[in-house]
Homo-oligomer: A and B are copies of this chain.
């Protein structure tokens, strides 16, 4: 049997992998998930992303694409007729979505790593900065969604994909570190957005329950640096 036209090299707990899976599912693209073994790097991964040696990698007819937000844009551009575009048509609106997606990856992953104990740092400070970031995203949601369901309006967009991919770990570190982050009193619209998007058919299977992330963290804690700090 020949290889699938579209393959994703990854591990299920990586938010950066999760976003690629969601993007493919939203576009209705069939793909094969090539799961790495925790703590190792396959020959295929090393050959496909020799510069960073990090997941995820999308292989499209054998050609590798790395860096998850770049992969999401690639998927949007290649399967442009499969679903509503992730990025809006208006250039300013596109820039705004890109700005906030980059903000998400600048602020969330390091705080999450500290809160689950895989990076050194002050837990209280990390929780505070993560809460502050979610607060700003709550405000951004009001501006960008304009009363609709998603950051992208009526359909799931680029920033929705970028942010929701971190929600599994945000909920997990709430349990691990005993903090409240997705607080209905403080970020009500973001909490409602997360509930809504996590139940979306393209998302529901890509983001397991928080308990599964917690279990992974307990089992593979010492391996999680290379897994959860991959290519942005």
A-side interface residues toward B, CB under 8 Å? 51, 60, 63, 65-67, 70-71, 73-74, 77-78, 91-92, 94-95, 98-99, 102-103, 136, 232
Contact = CB atoms under 8 A, between A and B. Distances in A.
Contact of A73 (B66, B77, B95, B232): B95
**Secondary structure type dominating chain A contacts:** helix
Given A102-B232, A232-B102, A70 B95 contact: yes
17 contacts: A51-B103, A65-B92, A65-B99, A67-B98, A70-B95, A70-B98, A70-B99, A71-B95, A73-B94, A73-B98, A74-B91, A74-B92, A74-B94, A77-B91, A77-B94, A78-B91, A102-B232
Protomer copies: 2
Contact of A99 (B66, B78, B95, B102): B66
A25 B94 CA distance: 22
